[in-house]
Amino acid sequence: MSITPRPPIPSFLPENAPFSPEQRAWLNGLFAGLYGLTEGVTPLSAQEVAQLVPGVALAPAADTDDDAPWHDPAMPLADRMKLAEGKPLPRRMMAAMAQQDCGQCGYNCKDYSASIFARTEERLNLCVPGGKETARMLKDLYRELDASAAAPPAEKKTLPAPAKPGYSRDNPVAATLVHRRRLNKEGSQKETWHVEIDLEGTELAYEVGDSLGIYPVNDPGLVDAVIAALGAPPDFPIGGRTLRETLSDSVSLSPAPDMLFQLISYLTGGDRRQKAKVLATGQDPDGDAATLDVLAALQKFPGIRPDPGAFVEALDPLQPRVYSISSSPKVNVGRVSLTVDAVRYEIDKRVRLGVASTFLASRVALGKKVRIYVQKAQHFALPRDPNKPVIMIGPGTGVAPFRAFLQERLATNAPGPNWLYFGHQRSDYDFFYEEELKAMRKTGHLTRLTLAWSRDGDEKIYVQHRMRDDGRDLWTWLERGAHIYVCGDALRMAKDVERALIGVVSEHGKRGPEDAARYVAELKKNDRYQVDVY
């Protein structure tokens, strides 16, 4: 009789986790049991292990995640969840997130999901890019966690000590906005601003590649319109503050949350009640759900008079937004600069405002304080070796971190060559930092500057078209060890640029498409292809 050997328990622990062989075997067994898995698993990150085994501090491990095919900002939620089907709960929670590791929740996606699973994080609505649909899915998955026998105990865990002031979204500091200028010329269809914040008195330090988190304040006109629609006095007291103050800086007035529709359903009757109930479940009875911010939701159900306290309770907290830092601290001493595209668009004859971008672009006056924190970059940094060539691809506001990189390489006399791809709509109107870049080009600090204008002629020219034109040289730079960086639009540009790069490697590196894709994957693995996209 043959005996089928039991498959070995896979290793969940990073190689460098400081455990004896016995402890390692025991912990691997525990995790295998916890996850109900014996094969095809991804090792847990150091943070996950630390969260699941309180009191164990681990050396940070390189956080590669090859087993997360849903980790794609351009993939719809339904497709991400399909890919994660049958995976352990933390993995499905991760798939529910909008998968950019954007850091706005204060974690990366994997650690945010691990923290929810370990119940050290109770907030399910922190994913800014995922918005309502991610929050809804996380809620459903959380119910599964409650029902699961393998779930960690529900008692509250001690939260980690707060980070130093100014280094986490939970501990922002106040700094002064000191400069703002528009980067597009009159006549542009875009509205992009260079803003500078003085760090004096904050003790904040940053490095190029980092981002800055900003706590915005809502537009006062919108706050007043919401108060009018509520029919409540602006000075109605809420937790020691007025209704107006609370609506200004504590809650989001953007997409109307499910809780608000639930509240509305309690305050109305008949068909209207039914409609509000249905909207609260994420359905779209009138085909207008995507256009319903808080004000539009109140206007859709005129005459309801919720208690202002209950109304505020039903809203989501106002989240910070992060922006790539566009200066080097070695050049812009004591200051930090950002490059901000102001989001404004019209729905039903009302101009909707991106809350943080228009706050920075126009609402906050020069000399006034803004609440900020430094979001440290993960895998987005200049090469350690200053001799290495760098290729930077940043259309639109994507140029921000590359301005910082160029300043840094200048300030440190880095001898490596620098190649920047910048593109935008029209050369006469949208050439951000034109003088600086041309000056750097003249001195040779900017070895190459390649420009792509999408609306100058009849044909759309994008950065990836220029990359294809320059294929031979790009390949030569890569073979010389160049590090390549992409920043800007995640949904379309970043994918197209990656495809173009694979095409260049295939054509000029004389490889089949699969080999070329492997070459680019290898660049990523070695931190030679880094992206900062949104």
Ligand X SMILES: Cc1cc2nc3c(=O)[nH]c(=O)nc-3n(C[C@H](O)[C@H](O)[C@H](O)COP(=O)(O)OP(=O)(O)OC[C@H]3O[C@@H](n4cnc5c(N)ncnc54)[C@H](O)[C@@H]3O)c2cc1C
465 binds, among ligand NAP, ligand X, none (CB under 5 to 8 A by kind): none
φ/ψ (deg, to 5) at 117: -60, -40
Give me the torsion for CA of 277, 278, 284, 288, rounded to 10°: -20
Contact 393, 225 (CB under 8 A): no
Give CA separation, 325 vs 14, 41, 222, 413, 437, in Å.
32, 36, 29, 21, 17
327 binds, among ligand X, ligand NAP, none (CB under 5 to 8 A by kind): none
3-state DSSP assignment of residue 99: coil
**From 140-148, 177-185, 276-284, 355-363, span contacting ligand X (CB under 6 A):** 355-363
Neighbours of 454 (CB within 10 A): 18
Closer residue to ligand X in complex, CB, 50/102: 102
Closer residue to ligand NAP in complex, CB, 190/448: 190
Which two structure tokens, joined as six digits, stand for 497?
């640029």
Closer residue to ligand X in complex, CB, 48/532: 532
Closer residue to ligand NAP in complex, CB, 48/489: 489
**From 7-15, 90-98, 294-302, 335-343, span contacting ligand X (CB under 6 A):** 335-343
Listed in sequence order, the residues at least 6 apart from 52 whose beta carbon sits closer than 8 Å to its beta carbon are 31, 34, 44, 114, 118, 152
Cα 83 to Cα 80: distance, rounded to the nearest angstrom: 5
Pairing of strands 390-393, 344-347: unpaired
Closer residue to ligand X in complex, CB, 98/264: 98
Candidates 51, 125, 246, 339: give the one binding ligand X (CB under 6 A): 339
DSSP H or E stretch at residue 389? none
Interactions with ligand X, residue window 194-253 (CB under 6 A): 211
- Is 99 a binder of ligand X (CB under 6 A)? no
Min. distance of Cβ 515 from ligand X in angstroms?
Answer: 31
Candidates 218, 357, 407, 450: give the one binding ligand X (CB under 6 A): 357
Closer residue to ligand NAP in complex, CB, 218/397: 397
Closer residue to ligand NAP in complex, CB, 172/394: 394
Min. distance of Cβ 400 from ligand NAP in angstroms?
Answer: 9
Closer residue to ligand NAP in complex, CB, 192/211: 192
400 binds, among ligand NAP, ligand X, none (CB under 5 to 8 A by kind): ligand X
φ/ψ (deg, to 5) at 312: -60, -40
345 binds, among ligand NAP, ligand X, none (CB under 5 to 8 A by kind): ligand X
Question: What radius of gyration do the chain's Cα atoms show?
Answer: 25
Contact 175, 197 (CB under 8 A): yes
Interactions with ligand X, residue window 304-333 (CB under 6 A): 321-324
φ/ψ (deg, to 5) at 122: -100, -15
451 binds, among ligand X, ligand NAP, none (CB under 5 to 8 A by kind): none
Q: Is 407 exposed, middle or buried (0-12, 13-18, 19+ CB in 10 A)?
A: buried
**Which residues here bind ligand NAP, judged by CB under 6 A?**
190, 192, 341, 395-398, 423-425, 454-455, 460, 462-464, 488-489, 491-493, 496, 534
Closer residue to ligand X in complex, CB, 14/130: 130
Cα 431 to Cα 78: distance, rounded to the nearest angstrom: 38
Q: Is 479 exposed, middle or buried (0-12, 13-18, 19+ CB in 10 A)?
A: exposed
- Is 154 a binder of ligand X (CB under 6 A)? no
Closer residue to ligand NAP in complex, CB, 91/321: 321
Min. distance of Cβ 75 from ligand X in angstroms?
Answer: 16
Give CA separation, 115 vs 148, 153, 263, in Å.
16, 13, 29
- Is 58 a binder of ligand X (CB under 6 A)? no
Long-range contacts of 24-29 (CB under 8 A, 24+ apart): 27/53
Min. distance of Cβ 212 from ligand X in angstroms?
Answer: 9
Per-residue buried b or exposed e for 409-426, using 16+ beta carbons within 10 Å of the residue's own CB: bbeeebebbbbbbbbbbb
278 binds, among ligand NAP, ligand X, none (CB under 5 to 8 A by kind): none
Report which of 132, 42, 78 is spatially closest to residue 315, judged by C-alpha positions: 132
355 binds, among ligand X, ligand NAP, none (CB under 5 to 8 A by kind): ligand X
SS (H, E, C) 455-524: CCCCCCCCHHHHHHHCHHHHHHHHHCCCEEEEEECCCCHHHHHHHHHHHHHHHHCCCCHHHHHHHHHHHH
Closer residue to ligand NAP in complex, CB, 340/372: 340
Cα 331 to Cα 25: distance, rounded to the nearest angstrom: 51
Vertex 78: Cα angle to 100 and 33 (nearest 5): 80
- The residue nearest ligand NAP at its CB is 396
- Is 254 a binder of ligand X (CB under 6 A)? yes
Min. distance of Cβ 339 from ligand NAP in angstroms?
Answer: 8
- Is 345 a binder of ligand X (CB under 6 A)? yes
Interactions with ligand X, residue window 380-399 (CB under 6 A): 397
Min. distance of Cβ 193 from ligand NAP in angstroms?
Answer: 11
Closer residue to ligand NAP in complex, CB, 312/486: 486
Candidates 247, 276, 336, 340: give the one binding ligand X (CB under 6 A): 340
Min. distance of Cβ 426 from ligand NAP in angstroms?
Answer: 8
State the number of binding residues for ligand X (CB under 6 A). 21
Where does this chain bind ligand X (CB under 6 A)? 102, 104, 211, 254, 321-324, 339-341, 343, 345, 354-357, 397, 400, 532, 534
